[in-house]
Amino acid sequence: MVDNYTQQIDKSIGALFDSISQRFSADDMVRIERAYLLAAEAHSDQRRKSGEPYIIHPIAVARIIAEELELGANPIIAAFLHDVVEDTDYTIEQIRERFGDDVAFLVAAVTKQKKAKYQHSKQVDNFRQILESVSFDIHALLIKLADRLHNMRTLNSMRSDKQMKIAGETDYFYAPLAHRLGLYYIKRELENLSFRYRCPREYAFLESELNKELKEREQGLKSFMFEIERLLENNDILMARTEIYSRGPYNAWRKMHGRGCDFNHIEGKYYIRIIYPNTHDYSEKDMSLKIYSILTDRFKEKPGSVANYIDPPKANGYQSYHVKLLTPQGTWEEIHISSERMIRKSQFGCIAESTETNITNWLEKFKHVLQEMASRGKEVEYMDGVT
């Protein structure tokens, strides 16, 4: 078993270093590797609830930061070290001496403070500490989200009561936080993982029904998508692609409860996404409207179904152009028309365009909400501002 874990760790860390080596300088790679070695030594005697060596968790968090969020060297280093001060004898000052002020700040921001007496409760004080860190660096929030995401992906090793507690916190705090940061993919995964543990029977039922319905409709949807792609090519819109996207069990459950209906009577379980390349020949709005015009010349549009989220975008930065069309099979299908940049923004949110100006603008937009939240005393009031 030890040999198996060693092979798993070596394979995982090797894959991570290989994937980022082209993005970073030799000096940065040395710092990143040093951080991993320190974390591996610090956690060497620790195990997760599953029995795995603890270092598997920091490696996984670093991979989320590096590969799924594509952040820089200091956040990756902090991800490796995020539990070192909390769970071992290392101090923030030792982290600062070895890796600098930025890394020390990030590690301190995600380290739960041990207090004899908490101002409100241990969890609320921890939430406040995380949110207040955004005044200086949004990366602390992203590391905490990556930490929570990996914990949720491996939650099956925990006792059922701990699963419920962690899943409840995730639905209450972390998924709304991801939403406010524009990290749609992370938000969606956190919501579904939380729902899976909070309501396992409902989750299993809805997952099965969604898969069953998609299988029944897949051929018709693919035929419709093929016709869309051919239509766009005939109108000189090349390299556009289509894909089917499922909204997932949690979204279906929320719609059922919000509208007071059963699974068979909710709409929008799936939608078709049309993604076109970024181009300098047209503005994104003009290209989206051009595609919309081509589609509605061929397919009937459902009255009142158009939603323009290009200007203005949603509060979390989401952009797309939505419309419902009647397919040759006689069904109304929701279509989202997006550029590659818009899709990337849905995935990376506030860090999609990681310029100093862009990050500053996101911080300014988000900071006043967080400051208001951090100033409140009651837990329910404190969390209301996130959603």
How far from 36 is each of 9, 14, 22, 41, CA to CA, in Å?
Answer: 11, 11, 18, 9
Tokens 């990681």 label which residue?
354
- Residue 119 is encoded by which pair of tokens? 């101002």
Are 277 and 343 within 8 A, CB to CB? no
Q: Which residues are catalytic?
A: 86-87
Amino acid at 311: D
- Which stretches within the chain are classed as H helix? 2-20, 26-42, 56-63, 73-81, 84-87, 92-99, 101-110, 122-132, 139-153, 160-169, 175-180, 184-198, 200-234, 248-259, 284-298, 340-348, 356-374, 379-384
> How many whole angstroms separate alpha carbon 347 and alpha carbon 184?
6
- Residue 284 is encoded by which pair of tokens? 């994104």
Sign of CA dihedral 101, 103, 108, 110: positive
**Cβ atoms within 10 Å of 345's Cβ, excluding its own:** 23
> How many whole angstroms separate alpha carbon 297 and alpha carbon 283?
21
Are 385 and 375 within 8 A, CB to CB? no
Contacts of 317 (CB under 8 A, 6+ apart): 182, 345, 349, 350, 352, 362
> How many whole angstroms separate alpha carbon 306 and alpha carbon 320?
11
> How many whole angstroms separate alpha carbon 179 and alpha carbon 192?
14
Residue 267's region, left for phi above 0, alpha for psi from -120 to 50, else beta, is beta
**Cβ atoms within 10 Å of 266's Cβ, excluding its own:** 17
Are 221 and 270 within 8 A, CB to CB? yes
- Closest among 123, 331, 111 to 220, alpha carbons compared: 331
Q: CA 174, 247, 288: angle at the middle one, nearest 5?
A: 105
